[in-house]
Structure formats: C-alpha cells, structure tokens
Structure 1
Amino acid sequence: MPLHLAFNDFDALRERCETAAVRTTRDEPEYEEGAVIPSGMWQPLTESAALAVTAPRWAPHSTLVEIIRPSSFDEDDLEHFARPMGDESAQYLGQALAKPGMRTTTDNYQEGRLIGLHLDNWDKLIFGRKPRGRRRLALNLGPGTRYIILGALDAQAVCRAVHPQDFAYRYPHTDDYRAHVAAGHPIRVYRIRLEPGEGYIAPTEYLLHDGSTEDQAAPSAMAFWLGRWPSAKLPSLV
C-alpha cells in the first residue's frame, strides 16, 4: 500500500505541504554514498497529488499517516504521554535535536554521515508483515519549525521490484530504496511543515521518511514514541 494520508481539509494540507522527486547522492561528503534525498525542487501540492495519497476508508490504522496537534502535553513527563492513546505498551524513544538548515536530519551515529531518507527497523518485520509494524508518534518541541518528509511508494512495492525472485523472504530495507532510485525509478516525496507543538503519527517502518530543517533559522527538538494506536486519537491539523 502506498502513502495513506488522513486529512479532511485540502486547503489546510496544501498550506503546509509540498512535493518533489528524489535522487541518490554521489561524492557528497555529508551523506552516505547512494543515499536517497529530495531533489530540492519543491512544488506546491496540487489537488491531484493530494488525491493520490488520500487514505481510503479501508486503510489499516497501521499504514495511516496523521498530522496532529495535541491539546496539551507535559514536557517533563513525555515518557507517559502516549500511553492513554490506546496502547499501554507504547514505547518512548527519547528526543533528537536537529540544527537549522538540514535537508535531512538522521545520521549514521557510527560515522556521523547523514543517511538520507530511510526505513526504520525497530520491529524487524519480514516482507509479508511489514505493513503491521508499530507507528511512530513524533512531536516538535521547538524552538524552530521543521518538516517530515514521506515517500509515496511503500516498502513492499520497492522490495518486490528490487528482488523479484525472492521478495517474500526478504526484510525490506533502506538499501532497496537506494537501489530502486539508482536504477532510474521515480519516487515522489511529500514535505509537511510542523510548527512547535505539532507532530505526526506515521508508519516509518513502511514508508521512506526523514525529518528536515531546510531553510529554517532555528534548531528544533523532536520527541518520539512507538505504538499501535487507532486513528484519530489526537486532533488532526488537516
């Protein structure tokens, strides 16, 4: 299943969302070789582009992307914030600080280079179970604005394309996306702006993604949780 974005107001989404193509890196010292990154040519969201990612009613909760703003949260007790949402075993992952002006924000902690758009792998799920992973809840703690970037092509589709003979036995991986893009196959990405206090719930084990502070003047911290939440547990921004 591709990107499934839950929204009710196209104008509200268009005001904070842009789209672009992607490319792979080559001889760019700040990035791993072959990393997938946005092309940089961000375009306004069109009605047809929004329609292409509109979540159908039958979409499983585990594959939905929601853009949210909690009515309140206590920064001194973030560990317990997500538990009342319907998953008592929800896991608080901590925080990550991003400096301003970063096209993507996640690095390889062993080498320090940015990994670009990627898949998470907390649940280590094989091909057939990949859509059933936990979703990530993330809140922008500020002080700056940032973005979430999401790919429109899901991990199963890419794994099947890259490994046509044995995809059913594979564990979809970031490297599959790198090979797919390097071979000349297009992937569309959506960049959604998140102000302080705003956030998202997304299947980051199933969709290409990363944060971004591109063109922003202030750093921002993001808090993260993993859980199995039903949809609409937090107020939607769109």
Structure 2
Amino acid sequence: MSLAIAATGAAALQERCEVTTLRTMRGSLTYGDHAVVPVGPWTKITDEMEGSLTEPAAMIRDSALVELVKPPEPIALGTLTDRLGDPDALYLGQANAPADTFTTTGNHENEGRRIGLHVDNWDKLPYATKHTARRRLCLNLGPGTRYLLLGDLDIRVVCRTVHEDFAHRYPHTDDLRQFIDDGHLMLCFRLRLEPGEGYIAPTELFPHDGSTEAQPKPSTAAFWLGNWPRGVLPSLI
C-alpha cells in the first residue's frame, strides 16, 4: 500500500509538503546504528506526486489514511477526543522537541540516541492485520513549527521485501532499516504543522517521525490513539 493523504485542494497540500529520500546512519553520536533518516535537500512535491498522494484517499480504508487537521478552538486537551467516534481512545501524553532537531524520537534504552523513522507497535499486530491498527492523533502545542515525516511505503510492503516468511512476521522498524540498508528506494514526505495544527495518521503502518529541522523554536506535541473514521476533525487541506 502506498501513502494516501486526504486533501480537497492540490495547492494546499503542495504548499506545505516537501520530499526527499532516505538513508541509514552509522557511527553517529546522536543516532542509533542503522537509524533511518532523510537524505535532503528537501524539494517541493510535483503535480504528479500530489496526485499519487491524494487520488488513492477515496478508495482506502480509514485506518490507512493520513489527515492533516485543525481542531476547533479553544482546544481542551482533556476532552478533545470525547466526540470523535471512539470512546476508548487512549491519551499517550506529550513529547517535547528542541528547536532545529533533524528527527525527534529518542530511545531511552540507548542513551537517548534518536531512532529515526520508525513504525509504532501499540497494537502489536501481525502482518495480516497490521493495516487495521489504530491511528494516532497528534496536535502541535507549539510554540514552534514542527513537521511530520512519512515514508511512502507501508511496513507490510517492506516486510515482505526483506523476509521470505513475511506472512508469519510482526512488521517492525528493523525491517525498515534492513530495507534501506539493502538499497531499496523509499520517498520521505515532510508535512508542515503550525501551532494548533495536527494530524491523524496510521503510524503503526507507515514509517514516520517528527522534526523541527531549521525551526528556531521548540515544539511540544500531544498524542492520542484511537479508531477514528475519516473527517472527524476539520481538514487543513
């Protein structure tokens, strides 16, 4: 499955979306070995890329769709998900990202070294059902701008590329690292989120991370996990 982003206008997505490819890190003091990161430089997406991202959106299941959203103000974090369609939605907490950080997620078990693009595993689903996992809602609390980084291939495609016994696997970030190490191409899209803006995305299905690269202010993000239908929050694009 390829990445799909819900959008009503091409110009709105192209204005906030850039693209590059991915590589792995070795011998870094700030990243774990084989962490997957953007290559750079970032370039604006083309009309063709915009179409490849938005045209599949109407045909895929809601759990596989990326949405850029703008919750109504004033935003009450404690009750934000109460009317979004999943009474069992889980609040995951907040994460602080310093200014000008290439990727944001660190590994507390590895001296805080950053893990690069990765897939979540809250639902612990095997290959056959990985695409049904809950989506994550993220809200940028500011004060700075941040980015959502997304690989364009889902982790099941990656898993079956690097493992002959993929059907019996639990697709994992290590599969992504092997995929990139083996020389396979994956595009990485960067979506800009201003304070008060957010996303709902299948972070257990698509490689992702946050970024504050070249941004002068830090950013705090709040996260929830839930089974939400598309369109539960107003779209940014």
Show the counterpart of 1:9: 9
Asked if structure 2 preserves the Cα contact closer than 8 Å seen for 1:21 and 1:189, the reply is yes
* Secondary structure of residue in 2 paired with 1:85: coil
Q: In the TM superposition, what is the alpha-carbon distance from 1:79 to its structure 2 partner?
A: 3.3
Query: Does the alignment pair 1:200 with 2:237?
Result: no
Q: Distance in 2 between matches of 1:198 and 1:95?
A: 15
RMSD, aligned CA: 0.9
Show the counterpart of 2:59: 58
Q: Distance in 2 between matches of 1:74 and 1:41?
A: 35
Which structure 1 residue ranges, 4+ long, deviate > 2 Å from structure 2? none
Q: TM-score, normalised by structure 2?
A: 0.97
Q: Distance in 2 between matches of 1:203 and 1:140?
A: 17
Q: Distance in 1 between matches of 2:233 and 2:53?
A: 20
Show the counterpart of 2:230: 231
Asked if structure 1 preserves the Cα contact closer than 8 Å seen for 2:57 and 2:65, the reply is no
Q: Distance in 2 between matches of 1:186 and 1:29?
A: 25
* Secondary structure of residue in 2 paired with 1:18: strand
Asked if structure 2 preserves the Cα contact closer than 8 Å seen for 1:73 and 1:81, the reply is no
Letter in 2 for 1:137: L
Letter in 1 for 2:58: R
Show the counterpart of 1:161: 161
Q: In the TM superposition, what is the alpha-carbon distance from 1:4 to its structure 2 partner?
A: 1.0
Letter in 2 for 1:47: D
Asked if structure 1 preserves the Cα contact closer than 8 Å seen for 2:70 and 2:234, the reply is yes
Query: Does the alignment pair 1:186 with 2:202?
Result: no
* Secondary structure of residue in 2 paired with 1:129: helix
Q: Distance in 2 between matches of 1:134 and 1:200?
A: 13
Structure 1 range deviating more: 52-61 or 9-18: 52-61
* Secondary structure of residue in 2 paired with 1:153: coil
Show the counterpart of 1:32: 32
Q: Which runs of 5+ in 1 are unaligned?
A: none
Show the counterpart of 2:87: 88
* Secondary structure of residue in 2 paired with 1:222: strand
Q: In the TM superposition, what is the alpha-carbon distance from 1:73 to its structure 2 partner?
A: 4.3
Aligned residues: 235
* Secondary structure of residue in 2 paired with 1:6: coil
Letter in 1 for 2:79: H
Asked if structure 2 preserves the Cα contact closer than 8 Å seen for 1:140 and 1:223, the reply is yes
- Aligned residues: percent identity? 51
For each residue in 1:38-84, what CA deviation from the matched residue of structure 2 results, as whole angstroms up to 9, or x when unmatched? 00211111111111122342210000000010112434xx2331121
Q: Distance in 2 between matches of 1:222 and 1:6?
A: 21
Q: Distance in 2 between matches of 1:89 and 1:232?
A: 18
Q: Distance in 2 between matches of 1:90 and 1:80?
A: 11
Q: Distance in 1 between matches of 2:93 and 2:23?
A: 30
Q: Distance in 1 between matches of 2:107 and 2:121?
A: 14
Show the counterpart of 1:171: 170
Q: Which runs of 5+ in 2 are unaligned?
A: none
Asked if structure 1 preserves the Cα contact closer than 8 Å seen for 2:117 and 2:207, the reply is yes
* Secondary structure of residue in 2 paired with 1:207: coil
